[in-house]
């Protein structure tokens, strides 16, 4: 049986590990760190006793997980194979990550199973950590902390279908939807501004992808909803090319959105730079149909259980859009392979 002494992560740490925003990254930063050997002792060298060469640090041992106890597999669902497939879909992009299913237990709630996992990295630099999550009846979702996350062998399929049907923002790249990179962003969000460098690189490195911008103005940003409405109208009147010029200009001048007068000047300047007339865009932004369009994009984000910006959804798989670029690229290539997409 799983002993009470088995160290499980705290609820807060568990949420951080399993939530979509960091589920793909919990070991990335740790595995990217390098160990620096200690400096040699400051002992003067003499002819009879030359200073010893500093020895290289001993290589870290590969992680060793506790042997699973058959008594800890009391629930028939999900199967160990399904749990491993789910983890492979989420973590398979990282060749250094290893894990072990330690237990799948019945709970007092009919149909709800508790899954215990050990996870570490191959180098052994990180000690194996245990965490748990709950799989709901039907096996389509899991719960960790406050998050409900798609679960199963192919956990991103429903999200991908939803986006193919409803992601209607301006786009660049391919007209087909074999690989969709959908960015949910807020024009007043500083991290969204930072993520634009990634988005530009992705549009260049993945020319066969459809790169879509979806508005997700957050309520704590007073100018964000109006900026989103302006963007909808720019795309409507000038097309996607005009929109991306507008968006780049707004992000560059993001500080101007901090005041009402500054926001008006910033948005109108961006419209002009996009080649359009602010006198036409401003009333369009107030039109109920435009506001409805922004609201629909926000609802799409909520239906995907996205609760932060910037989020990039790769064929239904949500990841932070401002993550290290090499990691984003690795995840996209991995997702393409999972979905049978060829460039």
**Tokens at 107, concatenated:** 């709970």
Q: Is residue 56 part of a domain?
A: no
Q: Which two tokens mark 90?
A: 């989420």
What is the pLDDT at residue 309?
97
> What average pLDDT does range 76-88 have in this prediction?
97
Please indicate, yes or no, whether residues 146 and 170 belong to a single structural domain of this protein.
no
Half-sphere exposure of 170 (CA within 13 A, CB side): 22
- Confidence at residue 5, expressed as pLDDT on a 0 to 100 scale: 31
CATH of the domain at 310: 3.40.30.10
pLDDT of residue 282: 97
Express each pLDDT in 261-311 by its tens digit.
Answer: 999 999 999 999 999 999 999 999 999 999 999 999 999 999 999 989 999
**86 and 205 fall within a common domain:** no
Is residue 331 in some structural domain?
yes
pLDDT band at 342 (very low <50, low <70, confident <90, very high): confident
- How far, in Å, CA of 309 to CA of 211, rounded? 16
Please compute the mean of the pLDDT values over residues 179-194 and round it to a whole number: 98
Within a domain: 295: yes
Same domain, 194 and 96: no
Number of domains in the chain: 2
Residues 325 and 182 in one domain: yes
Average pLDDT value for residue range 135-144 = 95
Return the minimum-mean-pLDDT range out of 39-48, 118-127, 333-342. 39-48
Confidence band for 319, pLDDT divided at 50, 70 and 90 = very high
Tell me the chain's radius of gyration from C-alpha atoms: 24
Q: Are 295 and 215 in contact (CB under 8 A)?
A: no
Contact status, residue 305 vs residue 20, Cβ threshold 8 Å = yes
Helix/strand/coil for 180: strand
Same-domain pairing of 170 and 227: yes
Give domain status of residue 44, yes or no.
no
Same domain for 196 and 130, yes or no, is no
pLDDT of residue 240: 97
Predicted confidence band of residue 37 (pLDDT cuts 50, 70, 90) = very low
Among 134, 150, 166, give the residue marking a domain's end. 150
The answer to whether residue 209 scores a pLDDT higher than 60 is yes
What is the span of the domain harbouring residue 232? Answer: 157-339
Q: Positive or negative CA dihedral for 283, 286, 289, 293?
A: positive
Stronger pLDDT, 5 or 50, i.e. the higher one: 50
Question: pLDDT for 10-21, tens place per residue?
Answer: 333 333 333 333
Q: Is the pLDDT of residue 42 over 50?
A: no
- Residue 54 belongs to a domain: no
Q: How far apart are CA 76 and CA 105, in angstroms?
A: 9
**Which residues make Cβ contacts (< 8 Å) with residue 151, sequence separation at least 6?**
78, 86, 135, 136, 139, 140, 141, 142
Residue 166 pLDDT level (bands cut at 50, 70, 90): very high
Structure-token match 């020895």, residue found: 55
- Higher-pLDDT residue of 23 and 234 is 234
pLDDT at 64: 86
- Provide the pLDDT confidence category of residue 123 given band limits of 50, 70 and 90: confident
Query: Does residue 293 sit within a domain?
Result: yes
Is residue 171 located within the same domain as residue 292? yes
Give SS3 for 98.
strand
129/15 same-domain check: yes
At 76, is the pLDDT very low, low, confident or very high (cuts 50, 70, 90)? very high
- Distance between CA atoms of 265 and 55, rounded to whole angstroms? 62
Task: Say what the pLDDT of residue 56 is.
Answer: 55
Answer yes or no: is pLDDT of 312 > 90: yes
Residue 47 pLDDT greater than 70, yes or no? no
State whether 145 and 76 are in the same domain: yes
Question: Which of 150, 182, 211 is where one domain is finished?
Answer: 150
Do 180 and 88 fall within a single domain?
no
Q: Is the pLDDT of residue 34 over 50?
A: no
Q: Which of these three, 132, 150, 168, is where a domain ends?
A: 150
185 in a structural domain: yes
pLDDT in tens, 218-248: 999 999 999 999 999 999 999 999 999 999 9
Is the pLDDT at 119 greater than 80, yes or no?
A: yes
Q: Which has the minimum average pLDDT: 55-59, 158-162, 220-224, 310-314?
A: 55-59
Per-residue pLDDT band at 32 (split at 50, 70, 90)? very low
- Does residue 36 belong to any structural domain of this protein? no
Clarify whether residues 85 and 170 are in a common domain.
no
Average pLDDT over all residues of the chain: 86
% of residues, the chain, pLDDT over 90: 76
Q: What pairing do the DSSP bridges indicate for beta strands 180-185 and 311-314?
A: antiparallel
Indicate whether 261 and 176 sit together in one domain.
yes
């Amino acid at each position: 049986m799983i002993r009470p002494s088995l160290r499980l992560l705290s609820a807060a740490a568990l949420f951080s590990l399993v939530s979509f925003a960091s589920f793909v990254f919990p070991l990335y930063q740790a595995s990217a760190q390098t160990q620096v050997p200690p400096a040699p002792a400051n002992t003067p060298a003499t002819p009879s006793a030359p200073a010893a060469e500093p020895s290289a640090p001993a290589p870290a041992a590969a992680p060793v997980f506790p042997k699973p106890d058959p008594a800890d597999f009391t629930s028939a669902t999900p199967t160990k194979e399904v749990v491993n497939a789910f983890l492979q879909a989420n973590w398979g992009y990282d060749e250094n990550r290893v894990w072990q299913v330690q237990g799948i237990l019945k709970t007092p709630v009919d149909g709800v199973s508790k899954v215990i996992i050990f996870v570490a990295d191959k180098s052994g630099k990180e000690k194996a950590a245990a965490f748990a999550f709950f799989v709901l009846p039907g096996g389509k979702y899991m719960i960790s902390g406050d998050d409900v996350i798609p679960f199963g062998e192919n956990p991103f399929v429903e999200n991908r279908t939803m986006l193919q049907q409803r992601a209607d923002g301006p786009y660049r790249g391919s007209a087909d939807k074999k690989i969709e990179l959908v960015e949910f962003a807020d024009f007043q969000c500083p991290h969204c501004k930072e993520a634009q460098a990634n988005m530009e690189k992705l549009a260049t490195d993945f020319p066969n992808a459809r790169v879509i911008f979806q508005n997700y103005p957050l309520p704590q940003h007073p100018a964000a909803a109006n900026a989103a409405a302006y963007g909808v109208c720019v795309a409507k009147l000038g097309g996607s090319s005009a929109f991306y010029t507008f968006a780049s200009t707004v992000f560059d001048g993001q500080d101007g959105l901090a005041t009402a007068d500054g926001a008006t000047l910033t948005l109108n300047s961006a419209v002009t730079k996009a080649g359009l007339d602010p006198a036409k865009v401003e009333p369009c932004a107030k039109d109920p149909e435009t506001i409805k369009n922004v609201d629909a994009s926000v609802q799409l984000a909520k239906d995907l259980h996205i609760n932060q910006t910037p989020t990039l959804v790769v064929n239904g798989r949500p990841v932070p859009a401002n993550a290290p670029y090499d990691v984003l690229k690795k995840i996209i290539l991995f997702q393409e392979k999972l979905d049978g997409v060829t460039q």
